[in-house]
Amino acid sequence: MSMTFEDSGAVLEARKQYNAKLAQQADKRRAWWFPIAVMALLMVLPALQLVGNYNYLLHMVLFTASYVAMASSWNILGGFTGYISLGHTVFFAIGGYLAGVLLARYGISSLISAPLVGLVAAGFGYLIGLITLRVRGPSFIISSLALLMIVRILFDNWHFIGGANGMALPVTDLGVLWAKVPYYYAMIAIAALTVICAYKIKHSKFGLGLRAISKDEVKAESAGINTRLYKVLAFAFSAFFIAMAGAVWGEYLTYLRPNIFLIILVAANMMLMCILGGKGTIAGPVIGAILLVAFNEFFVAMMGASELNILGTGAIMAAVLLFFPLGVVGTLAKAGKLPRILNWD
């Protein structure tokens, strides 16, 4: 028995109402007040400088926020799309060096130039993605690592930016107590923007296409998804936010060197944070960044800056992933035990 036009319209309307009901139920399981409360707390945290020297605390929050931004950016490609990249530090370096040159040569602060720098990095990401995303799986991982090595050699021998010796940047005129504050707020803003955009991307038609590619790229292409365009755009979006974080981080350090920006450890940290927190989730990279930075800082304080602290951090991570194989957020969500304050998806 064939379905009439009126019947099909009724079915579509019923589906729409059902989806709306599911969305309302999902909203009830979310605690939207929690990230807002955290942001409010972070906004007033620098006021502690009025009663003492809390530079270490501000530095750790700033440092963690930088990794929140980078891990959430990496998650767009590695989590949503399923393409593991070890070359994303290239965009971190592009952001840091381009903003650094604008500051050193023309006096333009990275607090102003960061969005422009991000757009330039996104353009590079788009072009690089057109080349590297022709391959999949281990071949893509190797190509991203090769990209990192090529750019590292280029930067080491590029005398305009100081080569391997790097380049110094102008120091802010602010006093010791307040010198970190502008960069603190800038990095918090970048981290928040990255997480919000990651959420918007995941819940868009574009994000649905990325997740389809992650599940089965051949079937996604058969379903009419322009997989190559989607992958390249994901690469570009990912590069944009990482470059902005690199721009602010470079001026904050006041010194740029290839062995600060172009090292595989930074890319590995982005990946590990997503895996630790929950790859493909919104809260996962945030939780992963907080945990990994906290683990590393704890073991550095206890064991010193030696190989032992790396061993301790690695052991803790292995133990966490043993009990949370899909990451903290992913495993708890699958088991139906995810706290409302971490339900950001």
Say if CB 72 and CB 241 are below 8 A apart: yes
Question: Mind listing the pLDDT tens digit for each residue in 63-112?
Answer: 999 999 999 999 999 999 999 999 999 999 999 999 999 999 999 999 99
| Angle of the 227-253 helix axis to the 110-132 helix axis, nearest 10 | 140
How crowded is the C-beta side of 284, counted as CA atoms within 13 Å?
33
Q: How far apart are CA 209 and CA 220, in angstroms?
A: 7
Give the pairing of strands 255-256 and 167-168. Answer: antiparallel
Looking at residue 112, what is its pLDDT? 94
Looking at residue 25, what is its pLDDT? 52
- pLDDT-above-70 percentage for the chain: 90
- pLDDT-above-90 percentage for the chain: 68
pLDDT tops 70 at residue 226: yes
For 3, which DSSP code?
Answer: P
CA distances to 101, 103, 209 from 254, rounded to whole Å, are 12, 10, 41
Q: How far apart are CA 15 and CA 259, in angstroms?
A: 54
Helices (runs of H) and strands (runs of E) counted in the chain: 15, 2
Cα dihedral 208/209/212/218 (nearest 10):
170
What is the band of 199 on the pLDDT scale with cuts at 50, 70, 90?
very high
Looking at residue 83, what is its pLDDT? 94
